[in-house]
Amino acid sequence: MKLTTDQLAAMIPTNPDVEGWCAELNKALDKYDITSARRIAGFISQCAHESRDFTALEENLNYSEDRLKTIYGPRYFGEGKRNAAEYARNPEKIANYVYMDENRSKGGALGNTQPGDGWRFRGRGLKQLTGRSNYERFAKDYGMSAEEAAEWLDTKEGALASALWFWATNKLNAIADTGDIRALTKKINGGDIGLADREQRFSIAFEALTGEILPRSQITETIRLGSRGDAVKRVQRKLGLASDGVFGPATEKAVKAWQEANGLTVDGIVGPKSLEKMLA
């Protein structure tokens, strides 16, 4: 199955170079046996979520002082640690602190042991390959050094190759075949961050490829008081609320009113069936 530019444009609508990406994808997907509608939709939808429609090929580390404290917390910028103000808006300095093995737990080691490795091997590519160890494993399969791979990842071909390598290494074709987007997401990012968006992107991609509209039965998320994330934002927009992504008392009250109006159990909890009905 070959992609057309119209199909890909539906999957990455904000990308300014759909034609260029389409050419790269059509050259590479067959090599990794990503040839069915489910596999293509699974791969592109996950990459599109991770890279903002294939536009963010390098990790953005241009964080403010407050954002640094939020993302990296007390482990890096808490009491007795570094002063976040001295790192704010300095991506290279940030990477060479938080990504160096000497500042990480044993389980979180990235293989960054040489000066400058944190910045040199920051997240790149459609899947944000990060750390010297991962770069070396990827580079070995392509007969190059980690440093050469770092340069290649700044190109369309390299950015795509790194994502395909990750996909193949983790045997994701088999999961894509099942259509289980939650399982696919968990394998890719270790949790279900952005699950609602990934599910929606998959449905759009599958429809673009086949003309078939998938039922929203793939929605498996449950949100309630205290939940955060994309699904909460979508529910808030549907209910006419400010979409801050935080399921607080106001959102709970609005959900209960919606449930009552729709003849559902009024508990303020939006499970898979309610979420499917609300977002249909």
**pTM > 0.85:** no
Tell whether 173 and 191 lie within a shared domain.
yes
Give the model confidence (pLDDT) of 90-113 as tens digits.
999 999 999 999 999 999 999 999
For residue 156, give the 3-state DSSP assignment.
helix
Torsion of CA 179, 182, 185, 189, to 10 degrees: -160
Domain for residue 212, yes or no? yes
Tell whether 168 and 213 lie within a shared domain.
yes
Average of pLDDT values for 192-201? Answer: 88
- pLDDT confidence band for 223 (50 / 70 / 90): confident
Q: Output the pLDDT for position 22.
A: 97
Tokens found for residue 70: 């939020």
Give the model confidence (pLDDT) of 34-59 as tens digits.
999 999 999 999 999 999 999 999 99
Question: Whole-angstrom distance between the N-terminal and C-terminal Cα of the chain?
Answer: 29
Domain for residue 111, yes or no? yes
- pLDDT confidence band for 227 (50 / 70 / 90): confident
- Domain ranges, residue 30: 5-56+152-217
DSSP tag of 204: H
* Nearest alpha-carbon partner for 146 in 110, 101, 181: 110
- pLDDT confidence band for 217 (50 / 70 / 90): very low
Tell whether 245 and 262 lie within a shared domain.
yes
* Nearest alpha-carbon partner for 121 in 107, 137, 106: 137
Residue 260's contacts (CB-CB under 8 Å, 6 or more residues apart) are 266
Is the per-residue pLDDT at 157 higher than 90? yes
Overall domain count for the chain: 3
Average of pLDDT values for 13-26? Answer: 95
Tokens found for residue 51: 């890279």
Tell whether 49 and 156 lie within a shared domain.
yes
Domain for residue 140, yes or no? no
Q: Output the pLDDT for position 221.
A: 67
Spatial separation of the C-alpha atoms in residues 11 and 8, rounded to whole Å: 5
